[in-house]
Amino acid sequence: MHVVVLMGGWSSERDVSLTSGKGIVEALKARGWTNVTPLDMDRNIAQVLTALRPDVVFNALHGTPGEDGTVQGMLDLMQIPYTHSGLTTSAVAIDKELTKAVLVPHGIRMPGGRIVQSASLYEGDPMARPYVLKPVNEGSSVGVAIVTDEGNYGKPISQKAEGPWLHFDRLLAEPFIKGRELTVAVLNGEALCVTELQPKAGFYDYDAKYTDGLTTHVCPAEIPANVAQSMMDMAAASHRLLGCNGISRSDFRWDDEAGEAGVYLLEVNTQPGMTPLSLAPEQAKQRGIEYGELAERLIAEALGEEFQPLEAEKAVAR
């Protein structure tokens, strides 16, 4: 079986994708898969895949165009099976406004908020502080800013000459939910566990996510059982309602002074990281699923097959 691991691309999350992809390639080869091709995606991707003729593509891309439905649509047209979610789910989940439109009517608690144009921020704050500004369709906390009356944003936002929001046209402004940062991975419809994220710098930004030592992962999270179950139920329901395939990861804020009612879903990631520091592999391991086995499970799901652990004597056949 020929597996192409698609990685890299040109999004702001390129480096993370390359690390994820290389990890998958190494893990599959270590488990006996002999025909695995790493592919750093460029704009000739369709021609390259036609020449490679893979049996399945492992999608290790993050951000546009590998997480927004574009690559998924191309692979559908080429009739090549691929891991993770399909075109429609990917296009909806990467758009935070559309995600809310799907999930909130089904009882999934998410912060309120509204869409703003970045240029309008020079006219003043879009809502009372503290609030969060985030690009509508970016991941890994790229471009996210927490606007408070302290720190870099102490003066009126209209006077700020620079800010991460300037690189994006459409932004989502949401009330800041005080409390704790947690996340839940869902594998083939089943919530794995809850991890609490304790960044040393106070905000779980891009560097905190992907720099070793900047964030402590408490897995499983030391929180009340009913709160953990609420998050796992919301993550599994969101995975189902959005139509996710394979694996997803739902990120939460929890106002621990409000109990279970303080749980808020922030977003659903259809292409969660697969780096050595990533949360989904960590949660899978907590449930007894090693990194390489997780990759095999995702490939099996993409092919519509039941997962069967690779037996050593059959490894050469891969």
Residues in Cβ contact with 10 at an 8 Å cutoff, skipping those fewer than 6 apart: none
Residue 233 annotated to the active site: no
Tokens of 237: 């329901």
Catalytic residue among 8, 9, 11, 13: 13
Give residue for tokens 């593509």.
57
Return the closest-CA partner of residue 136 out of 100, 95, 190, 98: 95
Structure tokens at 179: 């409390």
Find, among 123, 175, 169, the residue nearest to 147 by Cα: 175
Query: For this structure, is 13 an active site residue?
Result: yes
Single out the catalytic residue among 14, 31, 180, 249: 249
Q: Active-site residue 131, yes or no?
A: no
46 φ, ψ (degrees, to nearest 5)? -65, -45
- Whole-angstrom distance, CA of residue 53 vs CA of residue 167: 38
Considering the candidates 267, 282, 296, 301, report the single residue annotated as catalytic: 267
Phi, psi dihedral angles at 57 (to 5 degrees): -110, 130
- How far is 107 from 253, CA to CA, in rounded Å? 16
**Which one of the listed residues 273, 282, 292, 297 is annotated catalytic?**
273
User: Are 137 and 168 a contacting pair, CB within 8 Å?
Assistant: no
CA angle centred on 69, ends 170 and 41, rounded to 5°: 100
Cis-peptide into 276, omega within 30 deg: no
Query: Pick the catalytic residue: 11, 20, 90, 140?
Result: 140
Is 188 a known active-site residue?
no
Let me know if 59 is a catalytic residue: no
Catalytic residue among 204, 210, 264, 291: 210
- Partnered with residue 263 across adjacent β-strands are 254
Q: Which of 174, 181, 205, 251 is catalytic?
A: 251
Q: Is 249 a catalytic residue?
A: yes
**CA distance linking residue 226 with residue 233, whole number of Å:** 10
Q: Exposed (0-12), middle (13-18) or buried (19+): which is 176, by Cβ within 10 Å?
A: middle
Q: Active-site residue numbers? A: 13, 140, 210, 249, 251, 267, 269, 273
